Structure 1
Amino acid sequence: MLILRSSPASPFGRKVKIAASVLGLSDRISIDMADTTNPEDTIRVQNPLGKIPALILEDGTVLYDSRVIVEYLDFVAGGGRIIPADISRFEILRLQAMADGMNDASILQVYEKRVRPEERRHPDWVAYQADKVARALSALEAAPPRMVSGLDVNIGEIALACALGYLDLRFKGTWRSTSPHLEAWLDSFEAHVPMFAKTRIEPVEW
C-alpha cells in the first residue's frame, strides 16, 4: 500500500488524489494526515523540506513534490494517461506549471495573513502575489482549456481545477465574477470527475 502524506486543504495533495482516482489507483493509496507546523510530525523526516504532499512507496522510498508524484502514478498506470508522451505533453505541463504557480502565490498570501503578526505584514508583497494569480486567471480566461468529457483529463486540467478550487476555499470564489469561461470549464470538470467534489472542503475564514 502506498501512503500519501497530505492535508485536506492542500491543493497539491488534492491534485494527487484526483490524479490517482482518474488513473484507477485510489484503492492502492492510504491517506495519512500531515501537520507541517508540528516539529514532531514525521513529514520532516520523510521530506526534509517538511512539505506536502509526499508519497511513501512500499519499499520506504519517499517521492515529492506533487509533480513528481503524479508522474510516478502515471507511470504505474501504464504511462501516457494524464501526461502524454507526445509533443502535447509540454502544453499540458505548462498548464500544470501555471496552475501550481497560482497555488504557490495563493498560499503565500494565506501564510502572510495567518502566520505573520499584523504589524509586520507587507501589503505590497501580498498584492504582488495576488497580481500573479490575477494575470494567470486573465490569460486562462482568454484561452480556457477544452471542455472536459468523461474521465479524459490530463494533469494540467487536474492542476487547474485544484487551483480554482483553492481560490474558492480561501478567497471566497471572487475569481468567478471576472472569469465566466473558466467557471463554465470548472463546472464541466466537476461534472465528469467525481473525485473533485469528494475532495472539496468547506471554505473557512482567515
Structure 2
Amino acid sequence: MLILRSSPASPFGRKVKIAASLLGLSDKIQVVNADTNNPEDTLRQQNPLGKIPTLVLENGDVLYDSRVIVEYLDHLAGGGKIIPNGEKRFLALRNQALADGIADAALLQVYEERWRTEERRDAKWVEHHAGKVQRGLDHAEANLSSPSESLTIGEIALACALGYLDLRFAGKWRESYPKLVSWLADFEARVPAFAKTKVTP
C-alpha cells in the first residue's frame, strides 16, 4: 500500500487524490494526514522539506512534490493517461505549472496572514502574489476555459487551484471569470473525486 501524506485543504494533495481516482489507483493509496507545523510529525523524516504531499512507496522510498507524485502514478497506470505522450505532454505540464503557480501564490497570501502578526504584514508582498493569481486566471480564462475531451494533469491542477481560491478567498474570483466558472462546473460533473475531496471553509 502506498501512503500519501497530505492534509484535506492542500490543493496539491487534492491534485494527487484526484489524479489517483482518475487513474483507478485510489484503492492502492492510504491517505495519512500530516501536520506540517508539528516538528514531531514523521513527515519531516519522510520528506526533509517537511512539505505535503509526500508519497511513501511500498519499498520505503519517498517521492515529492506533487508533480513528481502524479508522474509516478501515471507511470503505475501504464503511462500516457493524464500526462500525455509526445507534444501534448508539454502543454499538459505547462498548464499544470500555471495552475500550481496560481495555487502557490494564493497559499503565500494565506501564509502572510497566518504567520505574521497584523503589524508585520507586508501589503506589497500580498499585492505581488495577488498579481500572479490575477494574471494566471486571466490567461486561464482566455486560453484554458473550454472543456476538453480528455482530462490531463493540466485540467486537474487548474480545478484544484480554483477550488483553493473558493476555500480561502470565498470564491471572489467567480465574479470576474465566468468562463472558468462554467469550466469548473463541467469538470466537477465529470470528475466525482472533485466533490469528494472538497473541504468547506
Q: Distance in 2 between matches of 1:32 and 1:140?
A: 32
Question: Partner of 1:195 in structure 2?
Answer: 193
Q: Which runs of 4+ in 1 moved over 3 A?
A: none
Shift of 1:148: 4.7
Shift of 1:153: 1.1
CA distance in structure 2 between the aligned counterparts of 1:153 and 1:112, rounded to whole angstroms: 33
What's the CA shift for 1:117?
A: 1.0
| Cross-structure match for 2:124 | 124
Q: Match for 2:151: what amino acid?
A: V
Q: Distance in 2 between matches of 1:52 and 1:201?
A: 16
**Secondary structure of the residue that 1:88 maps to in structure 2?**
helix
Percent identical residues: 66
The one-letter code of the counterpart of 1:199 is T
Structure 1's unaligned 5+ residue stretches are none
Structure 1 residue 142 displacement after superposition: 1.2
1: distance between equivalents of 2:169 and 2:128?
16
Corresponding position of 1:69: 69
Gaps of 5+ in 2: none
1:147 Cα deviation (Å)?
Answer: 1.0
**Are the equivalent residues in 2 in contact too, given 1:98–1:136 (CA < 8 A)?**
yes
**TM-score between the two structures when normalised by the length of structure 1:** 0.96
Q: What residue number does 1:184 align with?
A: 182
Per the TM alignment, residue 144 of structure 1 is displaced from its structure 2 partner at its CA by 2.3
Distance 1:140 1:65 in 2: 23
Letter in 1 for 2:188: E
Letter of the 1:185 counterpart: W
Aligned residues: 201
Q: Distance in 1 between matches of 2:86 and 2:148?
A: 20
Tell me, in whole angstroms, the C-alpha distance in 2 between the residues paired with 1:192 and 1:140. Answer: 19
TM-score, with length taken from structure 2: 0.98
Inter-partner Cα distance in structure 2 for 1:142 and 1:25 = 33
Distance 2:151 2:166 in 1: 21
Deviation at 1:145, TM superposition (A): 4.0
**1:27-176 map, 5 Å:** 27-149=27-149, 152-176=150-174
Counterpart Cα distance in 1 of 2:172 and 2:145 = 20
Q: CA RMSD in A?
A: 0.8
